[in-house]
Structure 1
Amino acid sequence: MTDESTKTKTTVVNSDDGGEMKLLELAAQDLPPHAIKDLIHHQVCVRCIFRLFNIHEGIYAMVSPTNLYSIIEKAADVEESVTKSSEETQDVKSLNSSQESKGKSNICSVCLGVLQFNYHDEKDMLVEKDHAEDFATAVVESVKGNCHEISGFTLEVSLPTLITENEHLIMSYMKNKYASEAWFQEKFSSEHISVKDALKLSMTLPLEKLLGVKSSVSDFRIRLTYEHVDATSAEKSTGKNQSNKRIKSGNGLVKCTNGTMQGGDASDSNSLLRKVGQPCHMTLVCSRAPIYIGGRYLKFSRNVSQTRWIIDDERKGEASVEELIGENVLPICNGDGYKFHAAGREDIDVRMLGSGRPFLIEVQNARHIPSEVSVKEMEKKINSLESNLVRVKHLKVLDNQVWSLMREGEAEKQKQYAALVWISRDIKDDDLLAVSSLKDLKVLQRTPVRVLHRRSPLDREKIIHWMKIEEIAGSSQYFLLHLCTQAGTYIKEFVHGDLGRTHPSIGSILGCRAEILQLDVTDVKMDILNE
Structure 2
Amino acid sequence: MDAVETDVQSKGDSAVVPTVMEEGDAKPADSDVCAVCLGVLQEFCDEAYAIKISDVVKAKNYQFDTMVLSVSLPAQLSVREHSCWLHVKKEVREKSICLDKDDVIQVKEAFKWTMQGLMSKELGGVPISRQTEQFEVGVGFTHPETDSDCHFLAGICSDCFRPTKNKQNVFTKMAVVKALEKVSDEKFLKKFPCPPTRPARKCIAQEVQCLHVSVFVAGRYNKFSRTLPQTPWVIDGEERMESSVEELIAAPLLSSFRAEGFNFSSSGREDVDVRTLGNGRPFALEPLNPHRTRFNKAEVRQLQETINQSSDKIRVRDLQIVCRDAMGHMKEGEEDKTKSYTALIWTQKAIDKDDITFLEETKELKLAQKTPLRVLHCRPLAVRERVIHTMSTCFLDTHHFHLKLRTQAGTYIKEFVHGDFGRTKPNLCDLLKTETDILELDVDSVDVDWPPSIPE
Q: Do they fold alike, i.e. is TM over 0.5? A: yes
Q: Unaligned 5+ residue runs, structure 2?
A: 1-26, 162-175
Task: Compare 432-441 and 347-356 and name the one that shifted more.
Answer: 432-441
Deviations 1:436-460 (A, max 9, x none): 2232222111111222222222211
Q: Where does residue 494 of structure 1 map in the other structure?
A: 416
How many Å apart are 1:205 and its aligned residue?
A: 1.8
Conserved 8 A contact 2:31-2:200: no
Q: Where does residue 214 of structure 1 map in the other structure?
A: 127
CA distance in 1, matches of 2:83, 2:451: 56
Q: Where does residue 107 of structure 2 map in the other structure?
A: 195
How many Å apart are 1:178 and its aligned residue?
A: 2.9
How many Å apart are 1:301 and its aligned residue?
A: 0.6
Conserved 8 A contact 2:68-2:116: no
Alignment of 1:106 with 2:32, yes or no, is yes
CA distance in 1, matches of 2:429, 2:30: 86
CA distance in 2, matches of 1:436, 1:304: 32
CA distance in 1, matches of 2:447, 2:190: 59
Classify the secondary structure of the residue corresponding to 1:176.
helix
Q: Which has the higher contact order (CA 8 A, sep 6+)?
A: 2
How many Å apart are 1:188 and its aligned residue?
A: 7.2
Identify if the C-alpha distance between structure 1 residues 199 and 302 changes in structure 2 by more than 3 Å, giving closer, same or farther: same
> Normalized against structure 1, the TM-score is what?
0.70
Deviations 1:196-241 (A, max 9, x none): 2221111222222222211112221111222221343445687572
What are the within-5 Å matches in structure 2 for residues 225-264 of structure 1?
225-235=140-150, 239=154, 241=158, 244=179, 253=186, 255=188, 261-262=192-193
Q: Where does residue 299 of structure 2 map in the other structure?
A: 374
* Aligned-partner residue type, residue 345 of structure 1: R
Q: Where does residue 148 of structure 1 map in the other structure?
A: 62
How many Å apart are 1:406 and its aligned residue?
A: 2.8
Deviations 1:346-373 (A, max 9, x none): 1110011111111112111110014123
Deviations 1:67-104 (A, max 9, x none): xxxxxxxxxxxxxxxxxxxxxxxxxxxxxxxxxx9999
What are the within-5 Å matches in structure 2 for residues 377-396 of structure 1?
377-385=302-310, 387-396=311-320
Deviations 1:401-456 (A, max 9, x none): 23444344433332111101112334455544432223222211111122222222
Query: Which of the two has greater helix per residue?
Result: 1
* Aligned-partner residue type, residue 111 of structure 1: C
How many Å apart are 1:117 and its aligned residue?
A: 3.4
Task: Compare 483-492 and 204-213 and name the one that shifted more.
Answer: 204-213
Classify the secondary structure of the residue corresponding to 1:193.
coil
Q: Where does residue 302 of structure 1 map in the other structure?
A: 226
How many Å apart are 1:498 and its aligned residue?
A: 0.8
Alignment of 1:157 with 2:71, yes or no, is yes
Aligned length in residues: 401
Conserved 8 A contact 2:344-2:403: yes
Identify if the C-alpha distance between structure 1 residues 470 and 117 changes in structure 2 by more than 3 Å, giving closer, same or farther: farther
Conserved 8 A contact 1:338-1:363: yes
CA distance in 2, matches of 1:302, 1:237: 63
Classify the secondary structure of the residue corresponding to 2:103.
coil
Task: Compare 312-321 and 520-529 and name the one that shifted more.
Answer: 312-321
Deviations 1:286-320 (A, max 9, x none): 01122211101111010111111122355433421
* Aligned-partner residue type, residue 139 of structure 1: I
Task: Compare 154-163 and 443-452 and name the one that shifted more.
Answer: 154-163
Q: Rg bigger for which structure?
A: 1
Q: Unaligned 5+ residue runs, structure 1?
A: 1-100, 119-130, 263-270
Conserved 8 A contact 2:365-2:389: yes
CA distance in 2, matches of 1:364, 1:356: 25
How many Å apart are 1:521 and its aligned residue?
A: 0.7
Conserved 8 A contact 2:67-2:134: yes
Identical pairs, percent: 35
Classify the secondary structure of the residue corresponding to 2:404.
strand
Q: Where does residue 89 of structure 2 map in the other structure?
A: 175
* Aligned-partner residue type, residue 147 of structure 2: T
Alignment of 1:281 with 2:204, yes or no, is yes
Conserved 8 A contact 1:302-1:348: yes
Conserved 8 A contact 1:415-1:484: yes
What are the within-5 Å matches in structure 2 for residues 366-515 of structure 1?
366-371=290-295, 372-385=297-310, 387-428=311-352, 431-472=355-396, 475-515=397-437
CA distance in 1, matches of 2:439, 2:427: 16
Q: Where does residue 18 of structure 2 map in the other structure?
A: none
Deviations 1:485-510 (A, max 9, x none): 22221110011111111001111122
Conserved 8 A contact 2:40-2:202: yes
CA distance in 1, matches of 2:138, 2:392: 58
> Normalized against structure 2, the TM-score is what?
0.81
* Aligned-partner residue type, residue 447 of structure 2: K
Conserved 8 A contact 1:446-1:459: yes
Classify the secondary structure of the residue corresponding to 1:116.
helix
Classify the secondary structure of the residue corresponding to 1:453.
coil
CA distance in 2, matches of 1:195, 1:331: 40
1:354 pairs with one of 249, 259, 278: 278
Conserved 8 A contact 2:36-2:81: yes
Compute the RMSD of aligned alpha carbons.
2.7
Conserved 8 A contact 1:109-1:273: yes
Q: Where does residue 15 of structure 2 map in the other structure?
A: none
CA distance in 2, matches of 1:398, 1:257: 57
Q: Where does residue 272 of structure 1 map in the other structure?
A: 195
